[in-house]
Amino acid sequence: MSNHLPLEIVEEILHRLPVKSIVKCTSVCKAWNSLITHQTFIYDHLNRTIQAPNHNSSLFFQFMEFIPSPCLRLENAYSLSSSVNQQTDQLSVELFPLSHLFDPDRYTLFVSTCNGLVCSADYSPLKSATIIIWNPLLRKYIVLPKPITTRRKRGRQDLCCYVDRNYDFFFGFGFDSRNNDYKVVRVMNDRCTKDAPHVQVYSLASHIWRSISVTVPQFFLIDRSWLPSVFLNGALHWLVWRDVGINYKFILSFDVIQETFREFTLPQPQSNETHPSSRLLPVEGGHSLAVVNRSGRAFCIWVMKDYGITNSWTEIFRLDTELYGDICRVLSLTSSGKVFLKLAGGAVVLVDPTKESKEPVGIAKWAFVSLSSFVQSLFFLNKKPHVLSF
Amino acid sequence: MSSSVEAITVLSSDGDEFKITVSAAKLSKPLNWMLEDVCFSDDCDEVPTIEVNSKTLVKVIEYCEKHAPRANSGASDSDAEELKKWDIEFMKMDVKDILFHILMAANYLHMEGLYDLACQTAADLMKGMTVSQIRKIFHIKNDFSSEEQEQLRRQHPGCSFD
C-alpha cells in the first residue's frame, strides 16, 4: 500500500480543520492548492459547517461613540469561540482591528453576519453609504458598488437617513441557498408618500445591484439609526411597526431566495411603545426566532417554536434585571440555552438561566457592543480583482 | 449464510488469517454484503481476502469488535461516554506508520465511524503543524517556487504559514 493518501481522503481531513489551518494547507503543494481554492470545496465547507452542531462561535462588534451622538462607529470585532468542545464554552478571543476600513467621519448604519461573512454599511451626512462584505478570519473584504438611488428632490439636502426624517432606510444580509449566493437587501421607505418602498438587491456572485418590484407591507422603523437584520431559515427579519390606531409592532420578513416580503405577528400582548427596547434575536445554531421584550423589571424572552407559526410563540424565560447585576441588554441566545448579557458598567457575561450561574466573558469593558453568531467560512479565499485584504 | 455461524475467517493482503465475529463484520458494508452472499459453513473452502495489510487489519478488527455491541443494539449514554474515551486511546498511533493505513482501510471497507474518527485524528494532528511538517507526514514534495510561496503569503495576510 502506498504511503500517499488519495486526494478524496485528504479532502475529508481538510474539511475537519479550522479555516486558518485550511488556508495554511494551500501552500503545501499545487494539488492541495487547487483542491482547496476550488468553489466546490468552498461551498462544501460552508454547507458542512452550517450543518455541524456545536460549531458556532460568536463575533462581538465594538463601537465607538460618533459625534453627533447617538451615532456609533464600528471599531473592532472580536471572535469568541463558544461551545467548541460541546460541553464547555471555550472562551478564546481574537481581535480584528477594523477602524481603518472605515472613513473616520462616518458612522455605522448596519452590521450583520451571515454564514461566516459580515456585511457593514456606514453613512455620512454628505456622502452615500459605503457597504462592505468581509470575512474576518481571512481578513479579506470587498467594497460593494454604490446602489443607484432615486429620491424626491426636496429630500436632497438631507441625504443622511438619520437626519432625514422622511426616509426609513435599512439593509439586510442573507444567503440564497439555492444559488449559493450572498445577497444584500436595501430598502428605502418614504414616509411622506404612499408609494411602495424602493427595494434593491445586491448579489455577491454578480457583484451588481438590481431593483426589484415587490409588494411590501406598510411599515415604519422602530430604531431608525440602527437596525441589524436577523437571518434564519432562508429569510431576513426586522422588527418594525405601523399605525393601526395603536402602534402595532410586527416582524417584517424577506425571503432571500424568492425575494418576497411577508409579516409575522409578535407574541401578545405587546407594549404599544415604539422605543427600541424590544429586540429580535436568532437562537444560535437553530432555526428559531426569538424576541426580547422589556417588561417592568424583567426581560422576557419569547421563542417562535415552529418557525412561521405565530401561535407557537412561547415565553421561555424571564430575566430579572437585577439578578445578575444590572442588565442593560440581552445580546445573544446560544444553542445550549445560555444567554450573553451586557451589564450596566460595560461587562459582558454568559449566564445559564436554569442554574442562575454567571461567567464573565474575558474582554475589556464595552461601551457599545453587539454580538452575532458566526461560522467559519472560506469565502473570498480565491484571488479575485475586487477582493482586498486588511 | 447459516445463522449458526458466529465468526468468519478472512485473509489479509499479506495472506494471514484473521477471525472476525459476524456482528463486528456488519460494521463494514462490503463485509456485510459478503456475509449475505458467501457460504460460511465449515465444509466451504473459500476464504475472503481483504486488501488491507495484517498490521492494519488487526486494528480495524479491534475497532469493529469494540463498537459492534453498541452499533447493533444501541447503548446508554454512559456506554457512549466510555466508548468515546476508548476511541481516543485507540487513536493514539503513529501517523505514517498506521493512521494513514487505517484511513485507507476504513474508506475501502466503508466504515463510516472509523473513517470519521481517523479523519478527525489526522486533522487534530495537522492543526499544530507547520507546512513543512505537513509535507513530511503526507510524503509531499514542495512544487511551489519561492516566488509563488511568497505570493501565497501575501494573498492571505490573516493566516500564518509557519
Torsion of CA A152, A156, A160, A166, to 10 degrees: -40
Closest residue, chain B, to A135 (C-alpha): B158
What gap in Å lies between CA A295 and CA A292, rounded to an integer?
10
Domain boundaries, chain A: 1-54, 56-374
Q: Grid coordinates in use for A371?
A: 454580538
Give domain B7-143's CATH superfamily: Potassium Channel Kv1.1; Chain A (3.30.710.10)
ipTM of the complex: 0.89
Q: Is B147's Cβ below 8 Å from some Cβ in A?
A: no
- How far A29 CA sits from the closest chain B CA (Å)? 6
CB A142 within 8 A of CB A101: no
Contacts of A104 (CB under 8 A, 6+ apart): A73
CB contact under 8 A, B104 and A6: yes
CB contact under 8 A, B135 and A29: yes
H and E: helices and strands count for chain B: 8, 2
Using a CB-CB distance cutoff of 8 angstroms, which residues of chain B are in contact with residue A3? 96, 100, 139
- Average pLDDT over all residues of chain B: 84
Using a CB-CB distance cutoff of 8 angstroms, which residues of chain B are in contact with residue A15? 119
Residue, of A166 and A264, whose pLDDT is higher:
A264
- How far B122 CA sits from the closest chain A CA (Å)? 7
- Based on the number of CB atoms within 10 Å of its own CB, is A281 exposed (0-12), middle (13-18) or buried (19 or more)? buried
CB contact under 8 A, B123 and A16: yes
- How far A98 CA sits from the closest chain B CA (Å)? 13
- How far B92 CA sits from the closest chain A CA (Å)? 17
Dump pLDDT digits (tens) for A106-132. Answer: 777 788 889 889 998 887 655 667 888
What gap in Å lies between CA A61 and CA A111, rounded to an integer?
8
Closest C-alpha among A114, A136, A144 to residue A20: A136
- Mutation site, B12, B119, B145, interface A, largest A CB count within 10 A: B119
pLDDT of residue B2: 46
CB contact under 8 A, A138 and B159: yes
Is the per-residue pLDDT at A83 higher than 60? no
List the single residue in B123, B152, B160 with the smallest CB-CB distance to A13.
B123
Domain boundaries, chain B: 7-143
Dump pLDDT digits (tens) for B33-81. Answer: 877 776 665 556 667 788 899 999 999 999 999 988 877 666 667 778 8
CB contact under 8 A, A17 and B127: yes
Q: Is B126's Cβ below 8 Å from some Cβ in A?
A: yes
- Average pLDDT over all residues of chain A: 80
Dump pLDDT digits (tens) for A271-302. Answer: 655 555 678 888 876 678 998 888 778 888 89
Name the interface residues of A facing B (CB cutoff 8 Å). 1, 3-6, 8-10, 12-18, 20-21, 23-30, 32-33, 137-140, 381, 383, 389-390
Dump pLDDT digits (tens) for A45-56. Answer: 988 888 876 556
Closest residue, chain A, to B160 (C-alpha): A24
Q: How far apart, in Å, are the Cα atoms of A132 and each of A27, A112, A206, A236?
A: 28, 11, 15, 18
Using a CB-CB distance cutoff of 8 angstroms, which residues of chain A are in contact with residue B157? 139, 389-390
pLDDT of residue A155: 47
- Mutation site, A7, A20, A22, A24, interface B, largest B CB count within 10 A: A24
What is this structure's pTM? 0.82
Where does A56-374 sit in CATH, by number?
2.120.10.80
Torsion of CA A271, A274, A278, A282, to 10 degrees: 120
Is the per-residue pLDDT at A148 higher than 90? no
CB contact under 8 A, B139 and A4: yes
CB contacts under 8 A, B 36-75 vs A, are 53
- Count Cβ–Cβ pairs < 8 Å, chain A vs chain B: 92
Q: Grid coordinates in use for A372?
A: 452575532
CB A141 within 8 A of CB A380: yes
Closest residue, chain A, to B125 (C-alpha): A17
pLDDT of residue A1: 38
- Please tell me which of A316-330, A355-369, B144-158 the model is most confident about, judged by mean pLDDT: B144-158
CB contacts under 8 A, B 23-42 vs A, are none
- How far B104 CA sits from the closest chain A CA (Å)? 7
CB contact under 8 A, B142 and A23: no
